Structure 1
């Protein structure tokens, strides 16, 4: 990628005047990324140039760059060829951002379970089609870990959540992976509430996890959809206090 310097991109930035100057700079750069004016690999102008273009102090520019770096949109390199370079945020970084938004939202266990029905059952066609042998082996390993925990009386909702997250990864769809990873906190919350309604849990769920892994290994979409529907429906009943 060619470096972004003086020339055709000189007029991309406009002066700002507000009490939260650094955030306005961050927002301007985000808009330029979204509309394609700036792309991963581009180098931002130097601090001095940015100060002149935005009409702010170097301290303010540095603060904005720190925010962009913390969100994974910019990487700072030192040396003769250093500077602030635009980067594509990683799956983990974006997932963390979505997770923060979800964790700060007021969500009920019932809402989370309804969303799981749409997302997890909807993902099964891709999972059944795309799961690799490595994926399937990983699912069965998690099933065995869950079974061992049940046998030892040490089963936790985190074990269940890890299976569902790994299952979604079998779709090999980056957007879906980010969504499911970000949903980890709310998923645990809904499972914990379900457990409060049915303290002795794990055995049946682990058995259904095994059935799901077997259906995926057999490329049997109908079986996978049936098991997942029953699996999530039971959680839905528990969080709505309609325990079986």
Structure 2
């Protein structure tokens, strides 16, 4: 069933078997299909579909939870092929802005969503692996974001947030912890701080950068000659960060997380190599 916010479709006929109820949807003017044809000559066809969807989102006619029209109807209304519509939907899925439901219930069809975290993580991870983003740039971006998320967490973290952080700290304090588990707990501790910041965008970006760097950090930890000593030092630094957050001292927490990140990467650089960002 179409919603009141479907796009690229004519007004609903109350008696039409496909609509089933009254209401209106965003109209595509008769000339829009011709306009789409003209634009196809200049760009890839699926970009026409993406542009139409983006326009509907920007105007407020499409919102999170709304269902897009069926592939056939969207293709007809825009004057493009069904494969072009299919490609546009795949792009939107990769961007984390739609999810594909199955079956015939209320969750069936293509629904607008707002879960960009995985998409951001995959995008940044790919560029890091392809070396199109220098590691030094990632480190400086991490410092900037984690300073802010840690400072905010000092004022926003609640009991559940502190319990989560404390659980990860306790696990990292175990002298018998494996390298892989330590790396996972380290990542989870930093992500718990980001999620406690109260700023969704800062949390998502912090998460994307930290998860993107996870393989690099794991490799670095595995290459250490004395992992237990490094793990103990990093765990102590984590406790210091958490203590500052618990005390509500955002500036101190931010300073400590910056020193923590810089200190770890400093230990990975060959002697005489420049620090990130210098």
Instruction: Say if 1:109 and 1:239, in contact at 8 Å, map to a contact too.
Output: no
Task: Indicate the residue corresponding to 2:4 in structure 1.
Answer: 2
Larger RCO of the pair (alpha carbons < 8 Å, separation 6+): 1
Task: Indicate the residue corresponding to 1:204 in structure 2.
Answer: 233
> What secondary structure sits across from 1:135 in the alignment?
helix
Instruction: Say if 2:67 and 2:112, in contact at 8 Å, map to a contact too.
Output: no
Task: Indicate the residue corresponding to 1:167 in structure 2.
Answer: 193
Equivalences, count: 237
Task: Indicate the residue corresponding to 2:124 in structure 1.
Answer: 102
| TM superposition score normalised by structure 2 | 0.70
| TM superposition score normalised by structure 1 | 0.79
Distance 2:119 2:251 in 1: 34
Instruction: Say if 1:44 and 1:83, in contact at 8 Å, map to a contact too.
Output: no
1:187 shift after superposition: 2.5
1:111 shift after superposition: 2.5
Note the aligned Cα RMSD (angstroms).
3.2
Mean alpha-carbon deviation: is it higher for 214-223 or for 60-69? 60-69
Deviation digits for residues 151-200 of structure 1, max 9, x if unmatched?
11524322212211111111022112211221234332442465346642
The partner residue of 1:50 within 62, 74, 90 is: 74
Indicate yes or no: 2:262 matched with 1:236.
Answer: no
Distance 1:79 1:233 in 2: 52
Instruction: Say if 2:183 and 2:217, in contact at 8 Å, map to a contact too.
Output: yes
1:143 shift after superposition: 0.3
- Alpha-carbon spacing, 1:158–1:110, altered in 2? closer, same or farther (3 Å): farther
Mean alpha-carbon deviation: is it higher for 96-105 or for 4-13? 4-13
Task: Indicate the residue corresponding to 1:137 in structure 2.
Answer: 163
The runs of 5 or more residues in structure 2 that have no matched partner are 12-25, 273-278
- Alpha-carbon spacing, 1:169–1:10, altered in 2? closer, same or farther (3 Å): same
Higher helix share: 1
